[in-house]
Chain A
Amino acid sequence: MDLTPNDEQIAFQTATTDWCRGNMALEDARARPESLWAELEAMGWTGLTAPGMDLDHASEALVFAELGRFLAPIGLISTAVASRWFPDVAEGKVALALTASQSEPLRVLDPAGSSAVLMGEPGGLRLFDLPDSFTDQGGTLHTTAHAQTIDLSTMQSRHEWTSSLWTEDDPAPALHLQLLGAAYAVGCADAARDMAADYAKLREQFDRPIGWFQALKHICSDMAVRAAAARSQLYYAACALDENAADAAFHVAAAKRLADRAALDNGRANIQVHGGIGMTDEAAAHLPLKRAHLLQFIAPAARETLLA
């Protein structure tokens, strides 16, 4: 039993954080350059989870929590999951569809430049062959219309269902998606906590940093508690998946539930800690909150799984 990362994992984690800080700052999340995806691909994060890489879930969780901390593209999650479970067909960027029933169109997140769309369902994954753009026989280029989401770093599009590939009779693929979603949410909760704590040390009122006041200090402490609980459960869930534990589905669901709550609650608290500037479009405080709202809908934890 060991729930702390080993030296190799720490090195991987640190390298990820450093790269993100230099190349994908959270503050820039509202306007990511188009070249970002190519850079992420070049750094290897899109193919990290491919079967040949033999990376364990624990390492993946660590790295995706760091990526999530910088509000990395949502498409990284779906691309990573698709490259594990559809290694022969999924090529390039794979967008993520929220779980939907066949009667409703797919809500596809981060569609730009994607070749296909991944959707999680209880008990499995679907992969739709839905290119974001294609050229017809007459040589005309068709691009799907993209719209904003609440999360300024993520665009969306709508698609009708087409035929899809389906991972049958295997709970693992959907759990993989839920685990990486949880990791993103843990990172998001961390980001809000750190932003709040940093601001509480910097901003002065009544001749002292506002973090001196317990009313603020305790808001920050609660953010730390929520983030720590979610992160610990994320590690446990990743290990449960690695060991094929019988209760892995419960532990992954618990991780997602706690991470979603932590991201949302920390996102809200962060605005309060910032005061007026926290409500502005210009400041970055709203970015983790809005990302948190989006993450709630990505492979959410089912109550039945938590109570099973």
Chain B
Amino acid sequence: MDIGFSPDETGFREECRDWLHANVPADKRPLDAADAIGFDKAWQRRLFDAGWAGINWPTDYGGRGLSIVQQVIWLEEYAKAHAPWIGANFVGINHGGPTLILNASEEQKAYHLPRILKGEAIWCQGFSEPGAGSDLAGIKTRGRIEGDELVINGSKIWTSFAHVADWQELVLRTEEGSLRHKGLSWVICDMHAPGITVRPIRKMSGQTEFAEVFYDDVRIPLANVVGGLGNGWKVAMSTLSFERGTGFIADQVKQSQEIEELIAAARANDMIKDDRIADQLAQLRAEVAAVRAMTYRNISEVVRTGQPGPEASVIRLFTSELGQRLERMAVLLMGEDIIDFAYGDDDAVGDYLRGFAATIAGGTAQIQRDIIGERLLGLPKSR
């Protein structure tokens, strides 16, 4: 076991650092999706042009074809350089693209992957429905086959960036009368197709970042099905494994900066003299260190065996709850200034309010605990 990096990897790290140092935008990313979309697309394009998009994606589709370790190094340096959150590109880069690489046809990959990498095509994820959140297999949105098309009716909800997206990972029922995990398909849905209505939803933090999506006789070519008609559950599971897995490395690195800022803030306002606060900060700093250790261990596992172990759910749960503990500490250190919070503020209170998503989106903390108990510890399935 070792925590060192090879000369090649260290050289790569320096390359990342130098480029980021010279290129990270000086202006802040706007918080609202509609305002941020131009920013997100331009930044992604700049990353692509300089060779920093899709570091471990295949070269055939515009990626760099490098190792997952280099991908981690890039994300570490990215966070250290305070580079902007990838925002609207999150779905395409972190799980839409990887799902296509694993499951899509040559044609689908050749068309979509380069567009994702260049920031030309924004993707969103249409999994959750009003009646099917944690219980994803309960989805009702359906597609009737007519000739070489699917005619889609139904609705999705909580779809992040739906109002600015061009494409959607849409999971729907394509077999009439099918139940639960059977008869589902994973489809590339054109968000500009006639019959789609998007109703943006505002969050408690003030941003309008997700939306409800209605489908009224929307026609999508059957050629847009990924991984075969009726195989939607399997493909959706691979999407979720990407969403819950390496997609969060960037957040993990950010936490190591946040804890240093919190300790500095507590020193500055003397709250560190409170033994309880000092002890909590010490504990948080140890936990943040463990996140890196867990990530490295998981990445090593991927390198060694080709896939992440079931421990990915452990990291996901630990990181999401740790992030919330950090946000709560930041708010605690603010004292009564929290009272001044107003929509549009981009401060610790906004992070704290947005941070509730960490244990809800992409599978709630309760669902993660089920997965850990059942897959890692072998306890009987509750559902």
Residues of A that sit less than 8 Å from B by CB: 1-6, 9, 56, 58, 193, 197, 200-201, 208-209, 211-214, 217-218, 220-222, 224-225, 228-230, 232-233, 235-236, 238-240, 242-243, 245, 250-251, 253-254, 257-258, 261, 301, 303, 306-307
A50–B372 Cα gap in the complex (Å)?
39
- Residues of B241-299 contacting chain A, CB below 8 A: 263, 272, 278-279, 281-283, 285-287, 289-294, 296-297, 299
Q: A-contacting residues of B (Cβ < 8 Å)? A: 1-5, 9, 69, 263, 272, 278-279, 281-283, 285-287, 289-294, 296-297, 299-301, 303-304, 311, 314, 317-318, 366, 368-370, 372-374, 376-382
User: In the assembled complex, which residues on chain A have CB atoms less than 8 Å from the CB atom of B5?
Assistant: 1
With a CB–CB cut-off of 8 A, which chain B residues contact A209?
379-380
Complex Cα–Cα for A201 and B318 (A): 24
- CB pair A306 B285 closer than 8 Å: yes
Contact A221 B373 (CB under 8 A): yes
User: CA of A232 to CA of B312 in the docked complex: distance in angstroms?
Assistant: 13
Residues of B contacting A200 with CB < 8 Å? 379
> Are B380 and A212 closer than 8 Å at their CB atoms?
yes
Contacting pair B293 A236 (CB below 8 A)? yes
Q: Give B307 Cβ to nearest chain A Cβ, in Å.
A: 13
Say yes or no: A225 contacts B4, CB within 8 Å.
no
Give every chain A residue within 8 A of B278 (Cβ-Cβ).
303, 307
Is B318 in contact with A212, judged by CB distance below 8 angstroms?
no
Contact pick for A1, options B2, B373, B380, CB 8 Å: B2
Knowing A218-B369, A307-B285 are in contact, say whether A243-B4 is a contact too (CB < 8 A): yes
The reply to whether B379 and A236 form a contact with Cβ atoms under 8 Å apart is: no
Does the CB pair A236–B296 fall under 8 Å?
yes
Which chain A residues border B301 with CB–CB below 8 Å? Answer: 4
If A217-B369, A225-B372 touch, whether A243 touches B3 (CB-CB below 8 Å) is yes
Q: In this complex, which of B69, B279, B293, B294 has the most chain A Cβ atoms within 10 angstroms of its Cβ?
A: B293
A6 & B1 in contact (Cβ 8 Å cutoff):
yes
Q: A238 contacts which chain B residues (CB < 8 A)?
A: 1
Contact B378 A258, beta carbon cutoff 8 Å: no
Contact of A228 among B2, B311, B380 (CB under 8 A): B311
Asked whether, in the complex, the Cβ of B294 is within 8 Å of the Cβ of A257, the reply is no
Whether the Cβ atoms of B286 and A233 lie closer than 8 Å is yes
The answer to whether A233 and B293 have CB atoms under 8 Å apart is: yes
CB distance from A296 to the nearest CB of B (A): 14
Q: Which residues of B contact A251 (CB under 8 A)?
A: 289
Given contacts A229-B290, A258-B290, A306-B285, contact A236 B3 (CB under 8 A): yes
Which 9 A-B residue pairs are closest in the complex by CB-CB distance? A236-B293, A254-B286, A211-B379, A306-B282, A232-B293, A217-B373, A221-B372, A58-B1, A3-B297
Minimum CB–CB distance for B4 against chain A, Å: 6
Pick from B278, B297, B366 the residue with the most CB of A within 10 Å.
B297
Interface centre among B2, B290, B301, B380 (most CB of A within 10 A): B290
Asked if A235 and B314 sit within 8 Å, CB to CB, the answer is no
Contact of A233 with B4 in the complex, beta carbons under 8 Å: no
The one of A3, A56, A224 that contacts B293, using a Cβ cutoff of 8 Å: A3
Q: How far is the CB of B328 from chain A (nearest CB, A)?
A: 18
Smallest CB separation, A299 vs chain B (Å): 15
Write out the residue numbers on chain A whose beta carbons fall within 8 Å of the beta carbon of B297: 3-4, 232, 235
Q: Is the CB of A242 within 8 A of B2?
A: yes
Besides A213-B382, A214-B382, A236-B289, 11 new A-B residue pairs in contact (Cβ under 8 A), listed by A number: A1-B299, A2-B300, A197-B378, A211-B379, A212-B379, A212-B381, A228-B311, A230-B290, A245-B3, A257-B283, A258-B290
* In the complex, chain B residues whose CB is within 8 Å of the CB of A221: 317, 368-370, 372-373, 376-377
| A229 surroundings in chain B (CB, below 8 A) | 287, 290-291, 293-294, 314, 318
Distance in angstroms between the alpha carbons of A193 and B304 in the assembled complex? 26
- Give Cα A258 to B116, complex, Å: 40
Contact of B290 among A208, A218, A232 (CB under 8 A): A232
Q: Which of B282, B311, B381, B382 has the most CB of A within 10 A?
A: B282
CB nearest to B289 among chain A residues:
A254
A-B contact pairs, 26 of them (CB 8 A): A2-B300, A3-B296, A4-B301, A9-B1, A58-B2, A193-B377, A197-B379, A211-B379, A213-B382, A214-B369, A218-B366, A220-B377, A221-B368, A224-B314, A228-B314, A232-B293, A232-B296, A233-B289, A233-B293, A235-B297, A239-B3, A245-B3, A254-B286, A257-B282, A257-B283, A257-B286
Given A212-B379, A221-B377, A307-B285, A233 contacting B290 (CB threshold 8 A): yes
B363 to chain A, nearest CB (A): 13
Q: How far is the CB of B298 from chain A (nearest CB, A)?
A: 9
Most buried by A among B9, B283, B301, B366: B283
Query: Quick one: which of B296, B377, B382 has the most chain A CB within 10 A?
Result: B377
